[in-house]
Copies of this chain bind each other. A is one copy, B any other.
Amino acid sequence: MTTAISPTTQELGEYPPGQDPLPSWNEGSAKRSIINFVRGVTTTGDAHFVKPEERIAVFDNDGTLWSEMPAYFQAAFVIDRLKALAPQHPEWKDKPLYSAALQGDMKTVAAGGLRGVMELVAITHAGMTTDEFAKIVEEWITTARHPKFNRPYTDLIYQPMLELLIYLRANGFKTFIVSGGGVEFMRVWADKVYGIPPEQVIGSSIVTKFEMLAGVPVLTRQPELNFMDDNVGKPVAINLHVGRRPIVACGNSDGDLQMLQWTAAGTGLRFGLLVRHTDSVREYAYDVSPLGRLDKALAEAGTKGWTVVDMKQDWKRVYPFETGK
């Protein structure tokens, strides 16, 4: 249960000068709630103390650790891959789904439903070995540019959330990504960008198959969904991959609700956080994204005492490349 902050820690939202662990966070209730929580679970003798090995923190990725507008960044990868493959597939011109995707018309693609999206994912994500796919992602992530900011997508991570990851790890936490994004898409760059190693990245996956190609064992990627790591899938995946219930869960949409519920329902002090996109100038302002909403989780945050981060108010800096103000 998420319970009231312990009396022994509730007034501790301060830190020695020059030692602010979250310098890109403005002073306020969100920042204070993080610091109070961490002090509570890490202070020996505190009623809320949690052993280091049980300090598991899970983070959604799209919209929580990096931006997700104007579309999930992995969708941009899909479109760029389709464009690269199109010359070998002249027949795509006559297929509405493909021609819409090639023109970046995401509305038409989305209108085709999950089946259409999965078909595009299959054609761009399958039919190669895992090693080959990793190379394709590596090349894309280092060369592709975000349409609004004209920067690599990995520049568009949230500096305050990066500080939160580092702060938690400095306090004995193990940090995990639990994302609807593709696990083998994220692993290529997550360690470099967030300091989260491959074995702590959980995501959606397609089927892979062990095969011998000319005497060499490979894993080939099949055009078939293995697991969708969203909504009810998130607690299922956490249980399968981590095998412990987290004490911290951070998300930004209703797709993260079950992960927050599952985390909050454990015994002892728990911390839930929702990032709310309120900054149309520095980032984007929306509670409804192309593929997600935030109404149910936001309503439950109120009753459960989860921390709602108002990006515009709570973040001094959004991206690492900005100068703090």
A241 proximal to B (CB < 8 A): yes
Instruction: Known A184-B243, A258-B210; judge A219-B236 contact (CB<8 A).
Output: yes
Distance, CA A183 to CA B238, complexed state (A): 13
Q: Give per-residue flags for A218-249: 1 if the beta carbon is below 8 A from chain B beta carbons, else 0.
A: 01000000100000110110011111100000
A232's nearest neighbour on chain B, judged by CB, is B210
Residue from the list B130, B216, B242 in contact with A198, Cβ < 8 A: B242
Contact between chains at A217 and B187 (CB < 8 Å): no
- Is there contact, CB below 8 Å, between A210 and B244? no
**Interface size classification for chain A:** 35 or more
Known contacts A199-B241, A201-B243, A244-B198; is-contact A236 B209 (Cβ 8 Å): yes
In the complex, A252 has a CB within 8 A of chain B: no
A21 at the interface (CB under 8 A from B): no
Judge whether B210 and A262 touch: CB under 8 Å.
Answer: yes
Q: Does A169 contact B (CB under 8 A)?
A: no
A 1-18 contacts with B by CB, 8 A: none
* 21 A-B contacts (beta carbon < 8 Å): A53-B197, A130-B239, A174-B199, A183-B240, A198-B243, A199-B243, A199-B244, A201-B243, A208-B236, A209-B232, A209-B236, A210-B232, A210-B235, A216-B265, A217-B235, A217-B262, A217-B265, A219-B235, A219-B236, A219-B239, A241-B241
- Residues on A facing B (Cβ under 8 Å): 53, 56, 130, 174, 183-184, 187, 191, 197-201, 205, 208-210, 216-217, 219, 226, 232-233, 235-236, 239-244, 258, 261-262, 265
